[in-house]
Structures are given as structure tokens and as C-alpha cells.
Amino acid sequence: MLDSVRPIRETHGRFLNGAEWFFTIVFTVEYILRLSCIGRPLRYARSFFGVIDLLAVIPTYLSLLLPGSQFLLVIRILRVLRIFRVLKLVQFIHEANTMARALRASSRKIVVFFSTILALVIIFGSIMYLVEGEGNGFTSIPRSVYWAIVTMTTVGYGDISPKTAPGQAIAAALMILGFAIIAVPTGIVATELRRAESTEVSTQACPQCGAEGHEKGAKYCKDCGARL
């Protein structure tokens, strides 16, 4: 981030570059050690934190081949997520796992919900294209759908707005509908969150495959069967 600021880059560019390579080498060694000490290195490499470890070192090496790719280094900020594992903040890890289970459990309902929203914005966008027309800024149905999305989410950029009375009436109905719809996904996730909180899980990761989310008191991994 600092390297993208011209005055800082001109005065401290060499220091930033040296620090970048130092941390890249440290993270590279750490990544190799993690792959060498786990029972299933390929599974860890494909896991969430394994991908983060890889993304933390790749941009620096890419900068040698592709000029300008060094700005992808901001990806490294994702490594901050590892602080929960380093410090063993059990309460935060538990809450994160609870949230993840709730999202997975409500994924189908959320997909249905967003499919319905997509159908609604296409319908309203098409209607507004017919009602307002190109003369009022609704130059195409995709652009009208963009307006419907902005209006339904109550963002209201104002770059496109209806000029006719029928168009304004439709816009008002869409705004009211947007207020009602916003609460739906929140209710879905909240319900699954309460259910997920009723199930306690261990924060221990399997030393063989790295899987998490085992039940309290579990002695064997639920995925690979290795002893915990």
C-alpha cells in the first residue's frame, strides 16, 4: 500500500523493497514447512488458509516476471486471519465456525432468495425500459436492470431516474419492496445461527488432514479417521 504512494516510494522505495523480499522469504519457508509436516500436504494446499499462504508469496515472485503485479501484495493482509490460530483465541474460532456452519446451512435458502431478487429486478428493469424509454436514460434493459438493483437496495446513485409519473410510481413501489426484502436474508441466517450455536464443536484440527469442526470429545477425525 505504501509503495503505491509516489512520495513514499521515491524516498523509501529501497527499504520497502528489501522488507518485502525479507517477509516473502520468511513466508515461503513457513509455507514449505507446513506442507512438509502435515500428513496430507495437498489437502492443506487446497484449504482456505493454505491458499492464503500461497497468495501471500506469489505476488512478489510474479513482480519479477510481470511489471506492475507487485500491487497484488495487498492480498497479504489476509494473513492477519492467522492470528486467531497463532494466539489460540478459542472464543473467536468457535464463533467463526458457528457462523460458517450457519451460512452453509442457509445456503440453499439464500440461493432461492437471490434467484427471486434477480427475477424481480429483471422484470422491473424491463418494465421501466418500456415506460421511460431511451430518452429518459433507460437506454437498454441491462441498464434498466442496473437501475432496479440500485433502487431496490436503497443505494440510489441518482445517475438514472424516472421522469414520467408511471415510472416514478413503479420506482416508489420498488423502493418499498426493497425495504421489505432486506430483512429476509438476515432472518434466514439468524435462524440457522441459533441452530448452529446449540451444537458445540472442538477447535482442534486433525494433524493428518487439517480438518476442523470435530465434536467435543471426538478421538478420531471425521474426514480421514486419523487419531486426534
The enclosing domain of 122 has a CATH number of 1.10.287.70
Same domain, 73 and 116: no
Q: What is the largest CA-CA distance in the chain?
A: 70
What pLDDT shows up at residue 197?
Answer: 63
Same domain, 186 and 146: yes
Residue type, 89: L
Indicate the number of domains in the chain. 2
Angle between helices 141-152 and 107-132 (to 10 degrees): 120
Q: Examine residue 170 and state whether it is found in any structural domain, yes or no.
A: yes
Q: Examine residue 220 and state whether it is found in any structural domain, yes or no.
A: no
What pLDDT shows up at residue 128?
Answer: 93
pLDDT by 10s per residue, the chain, length 228 = 777 788 998 999 899 889 888 988 988 998 899 888 888 888 888 887 788 788 778 877 877 776 655 556 555 565 555 555 555 555 556 666 777 777 788 888 888 888 989 999 999 999 999 999 888 889 999 999 999 999 998 888 888 899 999 999 999 999 998 888 877 887 887 777 777 666 566 667 777 777 776 777 778 887 788 887
Same domain, 111 and 80: no
What pLDDT shows up at residue 202?
Answer: 64
**Cell triple for residue 130?**
418500456
Q: Examine residue 202 and state whether it is found in any structural domain, yes or no.
A: no
Same domain, 80 and 153: no
Q: Examine residue 76 and state whether it is found in any structural domain, yes or no.
A: yes
The answer to whether 152 and 181 have CB atoms below 8 angstroms apart is: yes
User: Domain residues for 72?
Assistant: 2-87
Rounded Cα distance between 148 and 138, Å, is 11
Q: Examine residue 93 and state whether it is found in any structural domain, yes or no.
A: no
- The DSSP letter of residue 223 is T
